[in-house]
Amino acid sequence: MEPKLDGNAAAGTLQEIFPFDMTLAQATCAGCGATDVIGALAVYMHGMGTVVRCPSCDTVLIRMAQTKGRYFLDMRGVLVLQIGTEA
């Protein structure tokens, strides 16, 4: 079992992909409908990449992997992603 981290641990990789502060973006879980800021989600980092899970129901919200200069982003567990336009 990988150590559990919070969403801020995934911020570095997300920051390379998205041009805004993803720790403040809000994700709605497709499994249970809970909405949390990315920074508050449960993050597991391991050799294959990063997995972001819903803290309420454990649904996988985001899977990220990076290989050979290419990012792979699986966001099927995110029903809605809300991104603030204020800094």
Stretch that binds Zn ion, among 1-9, 10-18, 59-67, 78-86 (CB under 5 A): 59-67
Q: What is the DSSP string of 18-63?
A: -SS-TTSSEEEETTT--EEEGGGSEEEEETTEEEEE-TTT--EEEE
Q: How far is the CB of 34 from Zn ion (least distance, A)?
A: 5
N- to C-terminal Cα distance for the chain?
36
Nearer CB in complex with Zn ion: 34/75: 34
Q: Provide the mask over 18-57, with x wherever binding to Zn ion is found by CB under 5 A and - wherever it is not.
A: -----------x-xx-x-------------------x-xx
Tokens 């290989």 belong to residue:
67
**Contact between 8 and Zn ion (CB under 5 A)?**
no
**Structure tokens that stand for 29 in this block:** 């879980």
Nearer CB in complex with Zn ion: 26/56: 56
Interaction site with Zn ion (CB under 5 A): 29, 31-32, 34, 54, 56-57, 59
